[in-house]
Structure 1
């Protein structure tokens, strides 16, 4: 009679359980991905003042994703409040958006002028804040070779500016028991980014801050969401439009159909597939590797 080693039996059971867990996890994530990406209905924008003179405040509104958000919200009928550091660019985008919607305001802001911006915001009935303002490294560099001015700029614009803007608008949203805060995030905040470490850390900060703030203020009727963004063809990225790097217009068209529901959204479906694979497969493989290593020690 052949004797079956209990360790071998347990090893087989362990591998079966890990395999089943792997398959079920992938299946659940895949079904959720299909629903969120292709089947879920978009938000009803009337909830955020579409028919009642509601304003959308957009930071970093003169280029790329911010500019497209301003244009596409204007095309829906929202009033637009533009925020940028460049007065010349503000004047240009204002003319462009007025061809879509006559109701528009604009504000040039820097840290020293933030009190004036807060006063201007308080004069409009705003329901939506798009935290798009951001800056990236001019070139990938080792941290010990990065200029101190660039490190300060990355933190000041990406983090401090976003927090200050949100702090200015949040009391208004709380008082009216309604508001939507969307912050443009990045894949750079999801994974280690050698040579772009400060930029990646800033985006990782924004993710945790956004998710935490959503739990904090959801009871007040306020929705806070992070827009998980990979490559987009903009002046900042210097990328040409492609399947994995859509134009800002195409990207925002996808985003407008997905935002306003979840606290974390990857709106462009090729990016969503890449993100799903990157967060699913490696962790499961690492788990299987640990089990195999433990099994080897038992032999």
Structure 2
């Protein structure tokens, strides 16, 4: 299987590469940090059928697309690249921060798929796996920009699924809770149901293999969020206030 993984230089992306590294798989690892990618390539090259690197900043859309055009066939893309602004109740993100986050978390995914979808449709096969977040289902004041970007990603994934299912293309949307990574390392609060990187990625990989259209986890955290969304607004406001430093 030939697999493209974005955001592969660290965190979930690097662990995804490790867990997909096998003699049956060809990996294409994409990220902007060349040194880290080369270290990962060195670590995994003896385990893989083949492993190639694409050094690209996903916000540089034209350059990104040009570098992707070398791909002639592909079985799966895991759209993992993402950033957050951390959690701050007191600071308002600048418009530059807001735009950059949307460029990475939302628009880059379309830039990539604009190149890859013709390959998948011609093959009449392929898997597209999005790494969204449980934060997309409930927006705290401190994560409003990140949450809104992931909610937009959910809507985009849903629309793609409806359009491309007749072409034999599987669209999979994964919504993890907190998993240890560079993204969560900056959080200075207690993260409920925090998973170790290997375990979180094992669950992601399992959901992809089972072709889950929508997979939120950990389940207890997801059910808590679902319950909260069903409660009256005044009660939800009290819960949010309880955890907000205003």
TM-score range, shorter-chain basis?
0.7 to 0.9
Once the 2 structures are TM-superposed, how far is the Cα of residue 72 of structure 1 from its aligned partner? 1.1
Contact residue 65 and residue 111 of structure 2 kept, 8 A: no
Closer/same/farther in 2, CA of residues 76 and 257 from structure 1, 3 Å limit: farther
Q: Within the alignment, does 1:199 sit opposite 2:199 as a pair? A: no
1:233 is aligned, of 161, 164, 180, to 180
Partner in structure 1 of residue 31 of structure 2: 84
Partner in structure 2 of residue 109 of structure 1: 56
Tell me, which stretches of 5 or more residues in structure 1 are unaligned? Answer: 1-53, 290-299
Moved segments of 4+, more than 4 Å = 239-243
Aligned residue pair count: 228
User: Which SS does the other structure have where 1:121 is aligned?
Assistant: coil
Q: Within the alignment, does 1:249 sit opposite 2:198 as a pair? A: yes
Partner in structure 1 of residue 78 of structure 2: 130
User: Which SS does the other structure have where 2:76 is aligned?
Assistant: strand
Once the 2 structures are TM-superposed, how far is the Cα of residue 60 of structure 1 from its aligned partner? 0.1
Give the distance between the partners of 1:55 and 1:195, measured in 2 at CA: 38
Q: Within the alignment, does 1:146 sit opposite 2:96 as a pair? A: no
Once the 2 structures are TM-superposed, how far is the Cα of residue 160 of structure 1 from its aligned partner? 1.0
Once the 2 structures are TM-superposed, how far is the Cα of residue 212 of structure 1 from its aligned partner? 1.4
Specify which structure has the higher proportion of helix.
1
User: Which SS does the other structure have where 1:120 is aligned?
Assistant: coil
Closer/same/farther in 2, CA of residues 68 and 168 from structure 1, 3 Å limit: same
> TM-score scaled to structure 2, two decimals?
0.84
Give the distance between the partners of 1:261 and 1:102, measured in 2 at CA: 23
Once the 2 structures are TM-superposed, how far is the Cα of residue 121 of structure 1 from its aligned partner? 2.0
Partner in structure 2 of residue 41 of structure 1: none
Give the distance between the partners of 2:90 and 2:192, measured in 1 at CA: 30
Partner in structure 1 of residue 130 of structure 2: 183
Give the distance between the partners of 2:23 and 2:16, measured in 1 at CA: 11
Closer/same/farther in 2, CA of residues 220 and 142 from structure 1, 3 Å limit: farther
Q: Within the alignment, does 1:258 sit opposite 2:207 as a pair? A: yes
Tell me, which stretches of 5 or more residues in structure 2 are unaligned? Answer: 236-246
Q: Within the alignment, does 1:120 sit opposite 2:84 as a pair? A: no
Give the distance between the partners of 1:281 and 1:153, measured in 2 at CA: 30
Contact residue 178 and residue 191 of structure 2 kept, 8 A: no
* Deviations 1:138-190, CA, capped at 9 Å, x for gaps: 452557x3222211210111111111112211110000010000000011111
Task: Kindly report the root-mean-square deviation, in angstroms, between the aligned alpha carbons of the 2 structures.
Answer: 2.4
